[in-house]
Amino acid sequence: MDPSLPRFQKAHGKSEAEIRRRILQAIFEMRLPPGERLTEEQLAETFDVSRTVVRQAIARLAQDGILVKMPNIGTTVAAPTRKETRDILAVRKMVEPDIVRMLAAGPVGGGLDRLHAHLAKEKAARNSDDRGTLVRLTGEFHLLLAEVAANDVLTRLMTGLQTLTCLAILLYAEQDKACPPDEHSRIVNAIAEGNGETAAREMLRHLKHVEADLKLDGEDKASNFSETMAWLRGA
Ligand SMILES: [Zn+2]
């Protein structure tokens, strides 16, 4: 990352939820890499808010496993190990086929319009070769499915899982790939046709492709930062 570039645009008086949303967007666009250190001062200045508001946003993101807080060290963006990444994808394969099966059983109201509008944005980003936006949009597609299902618990779960998957892609993918083309539209078409089994099968197939693009074999050789610190403390 070029340190001379500002990480975020200066934003005035953001709410805690807005700060969380911007941090997630930055991770989705691969502007905030795994292991990156964040400070309360830096975030408070960037968002033009008090450190109390920043602290709340950090606490919530830490609860979801997206940021990692360590005493005397500070807050870093999570860096999932290979084992954690395999676990995350295992849970996604359990949960996401059921999300789309549920959506296909309907009714989803204006949800289908939102999904189609999202696919159009993905297509535009793909056509204009806008990598950052495309990677973010393909990640957000999976959150939108949970949002359309109108289940807040599911949305929160998927936010954690999807964000950690984005970070794992930066660590373990041979190239920073977005989701493969056409697979999202196959899923949406099956939902539109009310065909839950097809939607679930397409989602599972899609997640297996996402997993296949990652090098997850073998042990985690380099221990992560928190493990190293624990070792240094003699824990
Ligand atoms: Zn996808």
143 and 167 co-located in one domain? yes
Report the pLDDT value the prediction gives residue 222, as an integer from 0 to 100.
54
Residues 79, 28, 134, 132: is their CA dihedral positive or negative?
negative
Q: How far apart are CA 64 and CA 167, in angstroms?
A: 14
CA–centroid distance, residue 18 to ligand 1 (Å) = 24
Q: Answer whether residue 221 is part of any domain.
A: no
CA–centroid distance, residue 25 to ligand 1 (Å) = 16
CA–centroid distance, residue 7 to ligand 1 (Å) = 25
Q: What is the CATH number of the domain that holds 57?
A: 1.10.10.10
Q: What domain count does the chain have?
A: 2
Q: Answer whether residue 230 is part of any domain.
A: no
Q: Is the peptide bond before 107 cis (omega within 30 degrees of 0)?
A: yes
**Which residues does 209 contact at the CB level (< 8 Å), separation at least 6?**
179, 180, 183
CA–centroid distance, residue 86 to ligand 1 (Å) = 16
Q: How far apart are CA 118 and CA 136, in angstroms?
A: 11
Report the pLDDT value the prediction gives residue 3, as an integer from 0 to 100.
47
Report the pLDDT value the prediction gives residue 70, as an integer from 0 to 100.
84
Could you give the count of Cα atoms lying within 13 Å of 97 in the half-sphere of its Cβ? 16
CA–centroid distance, residue 50 to ligand 1 (Å) = 36
CA–centroid distance, residue 228 to ligand 1 (Å) = 33
CA–centroid distance, residue 168 to ligand 1 (Å) = 14
CA–centroid distance, residue 207 to ligand 1 (Å) = 7
CA–centroid distance, residue 6 to ligand 1 (Å) = 29
Q: Answer whether residue 140 is part of any domain.
A: yes
User: pLDDT tens per residue, the chain (235 residues)?
Assistant: 444 444 444 455 788 999 999 999 999 988 999 999 999 999 999 999 999 999 999 999 999 999 999 887 789 999 999 999 999 999 999 999 999 999 999 888 889 999 999 999 999 999 998 888 888 899 999 999 999 999 999 999 999 999 999 999 989 987 766 677 889 999 999 999 999 999 999 999 999 999 998 988 877 755 566 667 777 777 5
184 and 95 co-located in one domain? yes
Q: What is the CATH number of the domain that holds 104?
A: 1.20.120.530
CA–centroid distance, residue 72 to ligand 1 (Å) = 37
pTM: 0.82
Residue span of the structural domain in which 139 resides: 82-212
91 and 58 co-located in one domain? no
Report the pLDDT value the prediction gives residue 106, as an integer from 0 to 100.
84
**Is the CB of residue 33 less than 8 Å from the CB of residue 63?**
no
CA–centroid distance, residue 33 to ligand 1 (Å) = 20
CA–centroid distance, residue 108 to ligand 1 (Å) = 20
Q: Answer whether residue 70 is part of any domain.
A: yes
Report the pLDDT value the prediction gives residue 232, as an integer from 0 to 100.
79
177 and 109 co-located in one domain? yes
Q: Answer whether residue 228 is part of any domain.
A: no
